[in-house]
């Protein structure tokens, strides 16, 4: 399973759902080898403590110098932060190709499941004449929200054409792929999953008093967290007096958000609490009444699944896979994306009715457990692997 995002000890919040998926596949009986490039350019190979059938290989990609493709919370943010990263891409691609071929030889790999079309899906399909193994590729969001130019379309179309099976995590993403010239009938739709067992222990318990609003996000421009700050700013005083907002995460716009909060005099209401380990997310969400999602670059946000699993009231943009998760006014609320006025209006309504809407928590949890439990996702992936190998 080559991937460009995995929660290594040095980067504990990168792509945690990839780890959950790998562990669930191992519980299903598979042996999984994860390939992820090393942020410190040192080779590190180990077996996951939770299941020794998952092997993680973090590999270097530079002969000398400081790697910068992990200098921020994602490949694209890293390239924005340091243009030097563009010069390191060729060595990263070559090193990744070598590691894929090496892992196939050493660990008797039967099938490659590449996470994200670019870069790992493209590299894995490009190598097919050499490794002669079937390749499954999953598109997860950012890889199908890239600049729509000739080069991007060429890479994506090549990958989709040469993969033995294509997967996306939502029907929305399937439609999005069409804009890059990839026909919808190319894909299987298998959503991201979360380990629901982790959230049951910490399920949100309704309490009186201050209404706590929050989210856990990478602090990057595509997450549009300034919309949440602006929506809170526009709340009437009687509602502003009874709320607190907690934003967990780290990233390149952290200082910008902090400055915005200061400028609007909201430091006593909106708290940037920094990155928290993914294993602490269930506990964090257990202290939140309302989760607000403002992101417009998702296939289907895993954080929104986690919010429903925690019994929180979820407010999310209409679109971006959210319609496949949220039924408006039934297990959550949808608003017009990037419309701060619509978000503020909906937020006002939910704050006022928070005690009444908390009775939805069990209903919200029930709405996801049959489809978004990572055990269910692992079962569907296993079926895909079996069909591909049989073919």
Please determine whether the domains at 16-193+374-390 and 196-369 fall in the same fold group of CATH.
Answer: yes
- pLDDT of the residue at 357: 64
Domain residue limits, the chain: 16-193+374-390, 196-369
Q: Answer whether CATH 3.40.50.2000 is correct for domain 196-369.
A: yes
* Predicted confidence (pLDDT) per residue in 216-237, tens digit: 999 999 999 999 999 999 999 9
- pLDDT of the residue at 206: 54
- pLDDT of the residue at 9: 83
The four Cα atoms 372, 373, 378, 379 give a dihedral, to 10 degrees, of -90
The first and second tokens of residue 40, run together, are 């410190």
Span 227-254, mean pLDDT? 96
* Predicted confidence (pLDDT) per residue in 325-352, tens digit: 999 988 899 999 999 999 999 999 999 9
Span 95-104, mean pLDDT? 98
Q: How confident is the model at residue 203 (pLDDT cuts 50, 70, 90)?
A: low
Please report where in the chains the tokens 């670019």 appear, as a residue: 118
Rounded distance, CA 87 to CA 92, Å? 10
- pLDDT of the residue at 205: 59
User: Does the pLDDT at position 78 exceed 90?
Assistant: no
Q: What percent of the chain has pLDDT over 90?
A: 77
- pLDDT of the residue at 204: 58
- pLDDT of the residue at 97: 98
User: At residue 387, what are phi and psi to the nearest 5 degrees?
Assistant: -65, -40
Q: How confident is the model at residue 208 (pLDDT cuts 50, 70, 90)?
A: low
Rounded distance, CA 312 to CA 291, Å? 6
Q: Which residues sit opposite 274 in a β-bridge?
A: 248
User: At residue 308, what are phi and psi to the nearest 5 degrees?
Assistant: -70, -35
362 exposed, middle or buried (CB, 10 Å; 0-12, 13-18, 19+)?
exposed
Span 184-201, mean pLDDT? 90
- pLDDT of the residue at 193: 94
Q: In residues, how long is the chain?
A: 391
Span 143-153, mean pLDDT? 95
Quick one: residue 123, left, alpha or beta (phi over 0 = left, psi -120 to 50 = alpha)?
A: alpha
* Predicted confidence (pLDDT) per residue in 23-37, tens digit: 999 999 999 999 999
The answer to whether residues 188 and 335 touch, using CB atoms and an 8 Å cutoff, is no
CATH class for domain 16-193+374-390? alpha beta
* Predicted confidence (pLDDT) per residue in 291-317, tens digit: 999 999 899 999 999 999 998 999 999
- pLDDT of the residue at 207: 56
């Amino acid at each position: 399973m080559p991937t460009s995002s995995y929660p290594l000890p040095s980067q504990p919040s990168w792509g945690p759902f990839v780890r959950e998926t790998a562990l669930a596949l191992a519980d299903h009986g598979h042996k999984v080898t994860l390939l992820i490039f090393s942020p410190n350019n040192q080779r590190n190979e180990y077996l996951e403590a939770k299941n020794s059938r998952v092997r993680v290989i973090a590999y270097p990609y530079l002969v000398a110098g400081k790697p910068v493709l992990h200098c921020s919370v994602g490949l694209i943010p890293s390239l924005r932060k340091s243009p030097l990263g563009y010069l390191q891409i060729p060595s990263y691609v070559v090193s990744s190709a070598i590691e894929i071929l090496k892992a196939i030889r050493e660990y008797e790999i039967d099938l490659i499941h590449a996470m994200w079309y670019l870069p790992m899906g493209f590299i894995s399909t490009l190598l097919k004449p050499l490794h002669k193994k079937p390749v499954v590729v999953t598109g997860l969001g950012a890889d199908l929200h890239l600049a729509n130019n000739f080069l991007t379309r060429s890479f994506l179309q090549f990958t989709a054409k040469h993969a033995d099976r294509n997967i996306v995590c939502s029907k929305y993403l399937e439609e999005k792929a069409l804009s890059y010239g990839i026909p919808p009938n190319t894909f299987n739709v298998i959503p991201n999953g979360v380990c629901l067992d982790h959230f049951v222990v910490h399920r949100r318990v309704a309490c009186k008093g201050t209404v706590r609003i929050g989210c856990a996000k990478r602090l990057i421009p595509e997450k549009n967290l300034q919309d949440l700050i602006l929506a809170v700013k526009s709340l009437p005083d009687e509602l502003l007096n009874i709320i607190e907002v907690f934003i967990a995460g780290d990233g390149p716009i952290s200082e910008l958000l902090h400055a915005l909060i200061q400028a609007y005099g909201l430091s006593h209401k909106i708290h940037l609490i920094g990155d928290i380990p993914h294993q602490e997310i269930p506990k964090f969400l257990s202290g939140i009444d309302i989760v607000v999602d403002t992101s417009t670059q998702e296939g289907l946000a895993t954080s929104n699944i986690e919010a429903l699993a925690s019994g929180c009231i979820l407010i999310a943009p209409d679109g971006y896979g959210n319609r496949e998760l949220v039924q408006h006014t039934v297990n959550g609320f949808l608003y017009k994306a990037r419309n701060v006025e619509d978000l503020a209006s909906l937020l006002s309504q939910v704050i006022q009715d928070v005690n009444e809407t908390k009775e939805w928590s069990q209903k919200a949890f029930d709405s996801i457990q049959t489809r978004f439990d990572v055990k269910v996702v692992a079962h569907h992936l296993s079926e895909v692997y079996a069909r591909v190998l049989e073919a």
